[in-house]
């Protein structure tokens, strides 16, 4: 696809369909090159699921503490002083086929284990509260350097979290994550077909 | 309860328990006098439901478009220029007893009808998408001057919304809202016991 700009220059936009349809691994490395963050990958996948009436999942906006807002005449309000507040929940929630989904997404540059410090007490607390209400709760755990993405059920996360609180190790070894999670292979549409993993999780856990 | 301030003055804080337990109508007018906004009433009720493991419902933060953020040494990041963005969803969602709940809350000073302009296309669209996924979707509709609060099922709201699009009236008459909604009587704990109305709605609609 070629766009002609007014200045006469041409810009070639990378088209998804232009890529040859090879194996998932090829797609994977292509996406790795594109340099999307995990958040972008999830947002893009959610947009796909929404557009196709498959699920309604959104990222929650970051909470802001407003201090000073200007209201100029005939134009939009301008926030002139504000601070980031700590969220009291996870970043994502929504509905899929009658199920309430709730999750957070974390990345690490480590190659052998996933540091638990990526998670925060309020997120764990929130996930526990949602589990009590029969929600489908999990965390995306991505090893960026390995280009590997896992969906880790919240109950498994709690296990390692609680171990840590009792003086256990401060990270989850990759081999444990391989055992306890559903690995997600990158795709085209959606980028992360994570609802397949959610289906398996619902099936295994009988939520 | 009395608080002694350093300046020697006394401030009497209205204590909930200090109110005599009379009829719901009495509570109602007391809360009206306290001047809580509908948002505050809902947030307070959600905090009660959360603290008692009854439901996990949160208001989503307002989305902000950041333009300029300062990172001063040894202190928190300060947002120096930002703008309010239009939300793409409703304000509230969460989970109750396995059900996904999604709703918005609107107030009017009108006494005879509720103006549909309080709702926005993107909210209606979002509620329709959630209904397709079997969510429990509704709107709080408050007549502030009358101190009357209703839980209007989303499907009923769609009916009036679609009528309006076809040239029908731009507001929902109070008498129709009385018929189509569940009226919520104000309480102490929670301020708005709205999950009772949700139970009735689930029972009636068989979500």
Q: With CA atoms as reference, report the closest residue to A91 among A59, A119, A118.
A: A59
Tell me whether residue B91 is annotated as binding: yes
Contact A181, A150 (CB under 8 A): yes
How confident is the model at residue A95, as a pLDDT? 98
Asked, as a colleague might, if the bond just before B190 is cis with ω within 30 of 0, I would say yes
Report the Cα–Cα distance between both ends of chain A, in Å, rounded. Answer: 45
Whether residue A133 and residue B58 make contact (CB cut-off 8 A), yes or no, is no
Residue A36 placed within a domain: no
Comparing alpha-carbon positions, the chain A residue that sits nearest to B87 is: A61
Minimal Cα–Cα distance from B124 to chain A, Å? 14
Count up the domains in chain A and report the number.
1
How confident is the model at residue A207, as a pLDDT? 66
Please give the structure tokens belonging to residue B169: 């009236």
Whether residue A77 and residue B84 make contact (CB cut-off 8 A), yes or no, is yes
Residue B118 placed within a domain: yes
Minimal Cα–Cα distance from A201 to chain B, Å? 16
Residue B4 placed within a domain: no
How confident is the model at residue B35, as a pLDDT? 72
Going by their DSSP bridges, the two strands A148-153 and A182-184 should be labelled as antiparallel
Please give the structure tokens belonging to residue B126: 């979002």
Residue A69 placed within a domain: no
Q: With CA atoms as reference, report the closest residue to B151 among B109, B101, B207, B96.
A: B101
Q: Read off the pLDDT band of A6 (50, 70, 90).
A: very low
Comparing alpha-carbon positions, the chain A residue that sits nearest to B130 is: A56
Cα(B149)–Cα(B120) distance, integer angstroms: 20
Whether residue B96 and residue A135 make contact (CB cut-off 8 A), yes or no, is no
Nearest to B96 among A79, A98, A133 (CB): A133
* ipTM (interface pTM): 0.82
Asked, as a colleague might, if the bond just before B11 is cis with ω within 30 of 0, I would say no
Average pLDDT, chain A: 86
Number of neighbouring beta carbons within 10 Å of residue A163: 14
**What residues make up the domain containing B138?**
38-60+87-205
Residue A150 placed within a domain: yes
Contact B128, B163 (CB under 8 A): no
For residue A97, give the CATH number of its domain: 3.40.1350.10
pLDDT per residue over A158-192, tens digit each? 999 999 999 999 999 999 999 999 999 999 899 99
Minimal Cα–Cα distance from B82 to chain A, Å? 5
Residue A80 placed within a domain: no
Tell me whether residue B65 is annotated as binding: no
- In percent, the amount of chain A with pLDDT more than 70 equals 83
Residue A180 placed within a domain: yes
Q: Chain B residues with CB-CB distance to A under 8 A?
A: 50, 53, 55-56, 58, 60-64, 76-84, 87-89, 93-100, 102, 126, 129-130, 132-135
Residue B110 placed within a domain: yes
How confident is the model at residue B207, as a pLDDT? 65
Minimal Cα–Cα distance from B199 to chain A, Å? 15
Residue B198's SS3 state is helix
Contact A203, A56 (CB under 8 A): no
Tens of pLDDT along chain B (207 residues) come to 334 444 433 333 333 333 333 333 344 444 444 578 999 999 999 999 999 999 999 999 999 999 999 999 888 999 999 999 988 899 999 999 999 999 999 999 999 999 999 999 999 999 999 999 999 999 999 999 999 999 999 999 999 999 999 999 999 999 999 999 999 999 989 999 999 999 999 999 876
């Amino acid at each position: 696809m070629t766009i002609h700009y007014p200045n006469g220059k041409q810009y070639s936009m990378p088209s998804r369909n232009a890529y040859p349809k090879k194996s998932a691994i090829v797609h994977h490395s292509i996406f790795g090159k594109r340099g999307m963050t995990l958040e972008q990958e999830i947002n893009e996948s959610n947009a796909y699921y929404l557009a196709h009436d498959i699920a309604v999942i959104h990222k929650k906006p970051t909470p802001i503490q407003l201090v000073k807002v200007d209201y100029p005449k005939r134009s939009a309000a301008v926030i002139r002083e504000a601070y980031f507040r700590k969220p009291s929940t996870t970043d994502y929630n929504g509905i899929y086929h009658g199920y309430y989904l709730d999750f957070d997404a974390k990345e690490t540059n480590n190659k052998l284990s996933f540091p638990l410090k990526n998670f925060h007490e309020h997120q764990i607390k929130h996930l526990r509260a949602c589990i009590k209400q029969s929600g489908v709760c999990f965390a995306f755990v991505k090893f960026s350097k390995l280009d590997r993405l896992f969906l880790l059920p919240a109950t498994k996360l709690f296990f390692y979290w609680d171990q840590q609180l009792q003086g256990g190790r401060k990270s989850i070894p990759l081999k444990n994550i391989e055992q306890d999670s559903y690995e997600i292979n990158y795709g085209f549409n959606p980028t992360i077909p994570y609802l397949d993993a959610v289906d398996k999780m619902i099936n295994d856990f009988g939520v």
